[in-house]
Amino acid sequence: MRKIVIAIDGYSSCGKSTTAKAVAAELGYAYIDTGAMYRAVTLYLLERDIAFDDLPRIEQALHDIHIAFKRNRKTGRNELCLDGVIREDEIRQMRISNSVSEVSVIPAVRHTLVRQQQRMARKRGVVMDGRDIGTTVFPDAEVKVFMTADVLTRAERRQDELAAKNEYVLLEDIVENLRKRDHIDSTRTESPLRRAPDAVLLDTTHMVIEEQVDFVLERVSASLFSLAALGHDHNSGEAVI
């Protein structure tokens, strides 16, 4: 069966990562959490006291930093490795959430990570979630979904995630953080968060994860059926005769 790229974009805490992981597992595809990559850079800069406006030091850091994903055999999930060390839990902390959007607007950071993401998915057969996957990283993705949800619902989900890791944050603080990130992500000059013209909108406010996964899988099935019917060869862009 031909392999495609599935791009899932949208706002924070809409269920993008959980949905993307489940879709990838169902299809036997690779899963790439691009948001984790930006969080890793943020953690790297904070730990080394590199100011977000110190562009020469940031560019040097981007040459030195090594980001990869390693599968945890016990949990079955991909975990982010920063310079060979698993830092999955640390990059999910609120202090990283408070700064990641500021790091994400830096052009050098975006250019470096976009190139890396494109290399990771060059053979296709991948589910990638983030904020600019369907618009910048893979504008030719066969399936594009843009996820949104009510900000209070998103904040409650985020609060539950943090509490599960023994980090307790006031709901109003999370709402403020999400609104700040939404504004920065949507108004930045470099690859702003926006819905691609051909992306299907998915509002997850009143949906459980299983429903979200089914929604995406239905789009994947329709795309694969359409490609098979057309006899489309993605690599050449021509019909197979």
> For residue 223, how many other CB atoms are within 10 A of its CB?
17
Rounded distance between C-alpha atoms, residue 83 and residue 149, angstroms: 34
Closest CA to 7 of 25, 20, 21: 20
pLDDT of the chain, 241 residues: tens digit per residue: 689 999 999 999 999 999 999 999 999 999 999 999 999 999 999 999 999 999 999 999 999 999 999 888 777 778 899 999 999 999 999 999 999 999 999 999 999 999 999 998 888 899 999 999 999 999 999 999 999 999 999 999 999 999 998 999 999 999 999 999 999 999 998 889 999 999 999 999 999 999 999 999 999 999 999 888 877 554 444 322 2
Q: Can you give the pLDDT at residue 232?
A: 53
Closest CA to 38 of 70, 64, 71, 65: 65
Sequence ranges of the binding site for ATP: 10-18
Helix axes 209-230, 16-27, angle to 10 degrees: 50
Q: Can you give the pLDDT at residue 240?
A: 29
Q: Can you give the pLDDT at residue 78?
A: 81
pTM of the entire predicted model: 0.86
Beta bridge partners of 6: 127, 143
Rounded distance between C-alpha atoms, residue 31 and residue 115, angstroms: 17
Q: Torsion-angle region of residue 150: left (phi > 0), alpha (psi -120 to 50) or beta?
A: beta
Sequence ranges of the binding site: 10-18
Rounded distance between C-alpha atoms, residue 125 and residue 97, angstroms: 29
Q: Can you give the pLDDT at residue 241?
A: 23
Instruction: Write out the DSSP string of the chain.
Output: ----EEEEEE-TTSSHHHHHHHHHHHHT-EEEEHHHHHHHHHHHHHHTT--TT-HHHHHHHHHH--EEEEE-TTT--EEEEETTEE-HHHHTSHHHHTTHHHHHT-HHHHHHHHHHHHHHTTT--EEEEESSIIIII-TT-SEEEEEE--HHHHHHHHHHHHHHTT----HHHHHHHHHHHHHHHHH-SSS-----TTPEEEE-TT--HHHHHHHHHHHHHHHHHHHHHHTEETTTTEE--
User: Measured on CA atoms in the order 241, 221, 146, 69, is the torsion positive or negative?
Assistant: negative
Q: Can you give the pLDDT at residue 55?
A: 97
| Amino acid (one-letter) located at 74 | K
Q: Can you give the pLDDT at residue 215?
A: 98
> Do residues 147 and 19 lie in contact, with contact meaning Cβ atoms separated by under 8 Å?
yes
